[in-house]
Every structure is written in C-alpha cells, then in structure tokens.
Amino acid sequence: MIKDLLHSAPSLLNFGIFFGLAVLLLFVVLGFVTYGILSERKIMGFMQMRIGPNQIGGKWGLLQTVADVLKLLIKEDTIPKKADKPLYILAPVIAFAPAFMVLATLPFTDAFQFADIGVGLLYYMAISGISTIGIVTAGWASNNKYSLIGGMRAAAQMISYEIPLVMSLVGIVLITGSLNLNDIVAAQEKVWFIFLQPVAFIVFFIASVAELNRVPFDLPEAESELVAGYHVEYSGFRWAFFMLSEYVYMFAMATLTTVLFLGGWNSIPYLDFIPAAIWFGLKFSAVFYILVWIRVTFPRIRADQLMEFGWKVLLPVALANIFLTALIKELINLF
Amino acid sequence: MSLSGELIAFIGLALVAIVGGVLLITLTKVVHMVIALVFTFLGIAGIYMLLSAEFVAIVQILIYSGAITIVMLFGIMLTKHQENDAPAKGGWGNFSLLAAIAGFAVAVYLGIYNLDIPVQPTALHEENTKQIGIELFQNM
C-alpha cells in the first residue's frame, strides 16, 4: 500500500495520509515507551527479588507509567535564572526530534515501513548522532557543572563508540552488497547474520548499549557521580523529552538489532505459518529483555576504562572482522 | 514554475540553511553560533536529498554531526564564558553595505534567472552509493 502511495503523483491527500500515518506511529511508539518502562521496572524487580510497581492499575501496575507521565505534565516547569534560555528550551527538541526521525526507515515487516531509502543503515547512524548535539547543548545551557560534565562525557562517548558501531556493520554490508535495510533482511532468509557474523554482533551489541547511554555505559547521567548528568536542571515536560528520546532510541536500536542480525521478520524454517509481525515482535522483545538484563547485572565502568575499551578493544576487533570477512568473501566465495 | 511539493520543500530547506548562516554571523556566543551551523548543515543535507544525492546527504550529516559536537566542545573549553557584547555599529556604513548586498543580489538574479543549462538524461541518481563506490575503487 505504501509502495503504491510513494509512486503516485504528489497531492495534498498523499501528504495527509503520510502525516496521519506518522502521527499514528508516534502514538504507537509512545504506547511502547509507556509499557516498555513498566516492563523494564517489572523485570528489574524480578531480578532484584522485589515486586516492582503493583499499586496503580491492578495487580501488575498497568497504569503506573501513565500516572508518572501525568505527574510530569502537571509539574512546575523550571528554568534556572542563570541558564541560557533559548538553548535551554531548544535542547530537548534537538535531542528528541532525531529519535523519532530514525524510525522512518526501519522496516518492521515487509508491509509496514515508511521510507525505503538506499542508504537506510547509514541514515540511522547519521541521524542518531544529532541527538548528542542536543545533549551537549543541554549540558552547556543549564549552567551547571554536573550538567556540563555529563554533556562532555556524552560527546566523548558518542564519538568513540559510533566508530566501532559502524565498523562492525561493514561485514554485513560486504555480505549483502547493499546498505538498504530491506535488502539486508532479504539476505537473511536462509541464515541470520548473527551466525555469519558473530564477532560483529558482539561488537555491535556492546557499542549499541554505549550509544543508548544505558547502564554499564551510562556515564553521561551517572547518578552517583553527577546527580543526573546533563538533565540535572530540567524538570517537568522538558525532562520527559530527554527520557522519551532515550526510550525511543531503545525501541529503534532493538529494532535495528533485530533487522540486522536476527533476520528481521523472517521466520525460523517450518514455522512460517506464524505471521511476520509476530516474528518481528518476538525477536524485538528478546533484544529488549537482554538490554534490561544488562542494565540490572552490570556495574558502571570508569570513564577512562570506557575510552580504553572503545578504542583499544572494540575498534581493532571490528576492523579485524572486516578484514576477515573481505578475505573469506573474496578467497573462498563462501557467501 | 508551479508550486509543487518539491518547491515547497526546497524553499523550507533553503530558508533553514540561509537563516542558519545569517545567525551564525550575527550571534555573539560561540555555542549559539555552533547551533546555527547545525541548522545550515542540516538544511544543505536536505537539499542534497531533494537532488536524489542520498549518499552525499547522509555522509554530510554523519561527518558534520560529529564534527559540530567537537567544535562545540572546543568552543566551550577555549573561550571565556562571559557576556561582553560589542556595541553594534550604526550610521552610513550599514546603508552602503545594504546597497552593495542588494546590487550583488540583483546581479546574481539577472545572471542566473535566464541561464539555460542543457539537461541530459542520466542514471546518476539510481543507486548512487553503488555508483560512487565503483567510481572510487575501480576507476581511480
């Protein structure tokens, strides 16, 4: 349906349809974030042998996040007197807008996708980098030492972990011969890339956790050192925007991991009577669960260890993986 | 020239790029300038995208988003964080400047408006990542 729309003549109606679909996606993602946060808290509770949210909305606390968001909405919106006002207001927007933009190219199933551009993989990497500018801006505009240190750390971390993240994917691009996410999924119809590129998967997964600023790598907002890092001074809905962008990135990164390494919507052999959307959902949920699992079990690493690990371990391993993949592809022609 | 979606998109992106450029010159704080620069680069990347040069557009964002972050950090670390606005210059200098800019604009408009570039049908916009790769690694 989308394919026909994309090839039809541009009109106001088309614009309306796409706008409506984008708004729909926004609400789907907001719904995911609401229940993603709840499930994260529940899983954390289960792993730390406590109950987790269980008061609001029945036995499972189903309305807990809704109540939290409502609280954020009616909270006082504070802007510190010495803050740089225009940038303080602009920063959450710069941080959030790219998070939603990256969702445009992600193929959820063969029918459910918004834009099918040739460089989809690079598009994700490029656009997600813009968020860091928002984070650094927030850190600077708050006029607070903790914020500034958090913003600086976010910048350093993004620069050093984006390189292994992209490099680990070059192997996949070599095998597929395309940067298009649909082609990458199509190439995994028989074997998933997690089996062809296990080293790349490990590097990618570690780097993606670092890009998400989640727990072993959450130095930009380390609560025990920096109070809350770059968003110390933010409150109410502006703070909610930072949190929202973080969870939308988590959604996008889990989707990307599924698409790149777990075969996207492809099914396991002999089980292809189950619809593509359910396969996608299952794999996506597994990746999400592992992300939460990592958050609960790992201690935060030190800033210098973070840099050393990124440059001295992940990058050489990713480069070696590229070299090996190219060698095998050329010499043995296995793939 | 009729009002098509492409034209509207071009006008929007061009406005973002130009306003970003003007703000880059007129703002006084370094960090504000860097943010204006971000908008210029994003606007230009959008124009590349309109011209079907998707690879160039994405690489522009990929390279510059990292580069801008670094520029911003240097701006924060190497400049003084104190406000001392230079007083704005007034008087006849501004008028002659405006006249010069207007004259330049008219000259460029006259030069460009009737320029006729012969258009040949090419296949450069199809799979341009692949074409750039082949051009770079096989023909050079």
DSSP A46-74: HHTTS--S-STTTTTTTTHHHHHHHHHHT
Query: Measured between CB atoms, which of A10, A126, A130 is closest to B4?
Result: A10
CB–CB contact B61 A140 (8 Å)? no
Cα nearest neighbour of A85 on chain B: B32
Give the span between the Cα atoms of A321 and A328, in whole angstroms: 10
CB–CB contact B38 A162 (8 Å)? no
Mean pLDDT of the A105-125 span: 80
Give the span between the Cα atoms of B70 and B78, in whole angstroms: 12
Of chain A, the percentage scoring pLDDT greater than 70 comes to 96
- Is residue A5 pLDDT above 70, yes or no? no
Mean pLDDT (chain B, rounded):
80
Give the span between the Cα atoms of A52 and A35, in whole angstroms: 14
The pLDDT, as a whole number, for residue B103 is 94
The pLDDT, as a whole number, for residue B100 is 92
The pLDDT, as a whole number, for residue B95 is 86
Tokens of A4: 């026909």
Mean pLDDT of the A11-26 span: 81
**pLDDT tens track for B98-111:** 899 999 999 988 88
CB–CB contact A155 B69 (8 Å)? yes
Cα nearest neighbour of B125 on chain A: A118
**pLDDT tens track for B38-64:** 888 888 888 888 888 888 888 888 888
For residues B127 and B27, the model is more confident at B27
Backbone dihedral region of B88: left (phi > 0), alpha (psi from -120 to 50 degrees) or beta? beta
The pLDDT, as a whole number, for residue A10 is 62
Mean pLDDT of the A242-249 span: 88
For residues B68 and B25, the model is more confident at B25
**Whole-prediction pTM:** 0.82
Of chain A, the percentage scoring pLDDT greater than 90 comes to 1
Mean pLDDT (chain A, rounded):
83
**pLDDT tens track for A304-324:** 888 888 889 889 999 999 998
Cα nearest neighbour of A148 on chain B: B76
- d(CA A212, nearest CA chain B) in Å: 16
The pLDDT, as a whole number, for residue B88 is 59
Q: What is the ipTM of this complex?
A: 0.77
Instruction: Collect contacts of A262-267 with beta carbons under 8 A, ≥24 apart.
Output: A262/A192, A262/A194, A262/A286, A262/A287, A263/A185, A263/A188, A263/A189, A263/A192, A263/A193, A264/A107, A264/A181, A264/A184, A264/A185, A264/A188, A265/A107, A265/A108, A265/A109, A265/A110, A265/A185, A266/A185, A266/A188, A266/A189, A266/A192
- Is residue A9 pLDDT above 70, yes or no? no
- For the ranges A21-30, A110-119, A282-291, the lowest mean pLDDT is seen at A110-119
- For the ranges A124-138, A261-275, B80-94, the lowest mean pLDDT is seen at B80-94
The pLDDT, as a whole number, for residue A269 is 73
The pLDDT, as a whole number, for residue B82 is 63
CB–CB contact A158 B128 (8 Å)? no
Of chain B, the percentage scoring pLDDT greater than 90 comes to 9
CB–CB contact A125 B62 (8 Å)? yes
